Amino acid sequence: MQGCLISTSSAVLLATALKGNMTLRKLSVCYLSADVVGIILACLKHNTTLEELSLVYSHDISDPTLWDGLQALRANTSLKCLKLTQTILASSCAIAIAEVLRENSVLQELHLSDNPIGNLGAYALAKALQANTSLKHLDVSNCRLTEGVVSTFAESLTRNNTVECVRLGDIAVSEEWTPSFPLTANVFTRLDVSWNTLGLERWAACMPQNDQSCSRLRISWTEDANPSSVAKWCGSALVSCTSLT
């Protein structure tokens, strides 16, 4: 559904229909007025068939309505993918989502890109990953994050082997940044961020040789990263990944 701004009254009608619907598996709604995100999320408490929900671009957002809607995710047993992008989610909303992740054992993908959740919200999401057992993909790119969150997410990935990818995006990681603890290849391959020189060198150093499971790696680096570290990473990847694509 896209085109004109989705009004509150239209959202109520849609949510009412979703409560009793037994066939719809995927729904995408764009251009939302203030209360729409929360109203549609609230219907998930009663819907047992929807597997993917995408709510994109909110003109404004009502925190109380959104928080009420997020509580429905605690009880939902069918939704596997939730996309809330460009919906003006603040750090308080991200913290509420983090609390949901501690209890929800069904959600596998969570996309929160292009929201001003900031470091505070990101820290909460990272900590929630340590308790969650179902989430495989988390996207918090373009969410006004700084290099301070990188080590926090890395630590969570050392404690969670279910997560396959955490996308932080193009954070301004300075050349002075160092991880707060030693990172392994298992963490590097699952943490999608633009690495500095040290990050590239340490990733290259810990790559296992002839890794049969290593068929695809995603790599990006900062504009200040030393070209020699990029070359070193590429050399290690060619040795490590027997079927690199």
Q: pLDDT tens-digit profile of 159-194?
A: 999 999 999 999 989 999 999 999 999 999 999 999
Does the residue 223 lie in any domain? no
Cα separations (Å) of 202 from 147, 156, 178, 214, 215?
Answer: 17, 19, 10, 17, 20
Half-sphere exposure of 111 (CA within 13 A, CB side): 14
The 3-state DSSP class for residue 111 equals strand
Q: CATH number of the domain that 181 lies in?
A: 3.80.10.10
Does the residue 45 lie in any domain? yes
Does the residue 79 lie in any domain? yes
Does the residue 208 lie in any domain? no
pTM for the whole thing? 0.93
Domain count, the chain: 1
Per-residue model confidence (pLDDT) at position 5: 83
Per-residue model confidence (pLDDT) at position 209: 77
| Distance from C-alpha of 212 to C-alpha of 242, rounded to nearest angstrom | 6
**Domain ranges, residue 181:** 8-194
Percent helix, percent strand, percent coil in the chain, to nearest 5: 40, 15, 45
196-223 tens-digit pLDDT: 999 999 999 999 876 666 657 889 999 9
Cα separations (Å) of 155 from 42, 134, 187, 190, 234?
Answer: 32, 18, 9, 12, 25
Does the residue 200 lie in any domain? no
Does the residue 232 lie in any domain? no
| Distance from C-alpha of 145 to C-alpha of 12, rounded to nearest angstrom | 34
Half-sphere exposure of 148 (CA within 13 A, CB side): 9
Does the residue 67 lie in any domain? yes
| Distance from C-alpha of 66 to C-alpha of 63, rounded to nearest angstrom | 5
pLDDT < 50 stretches in the chain: 245
**Amino acid letter, residue 199:** G
Does the residue 128 lie in any domain? yes
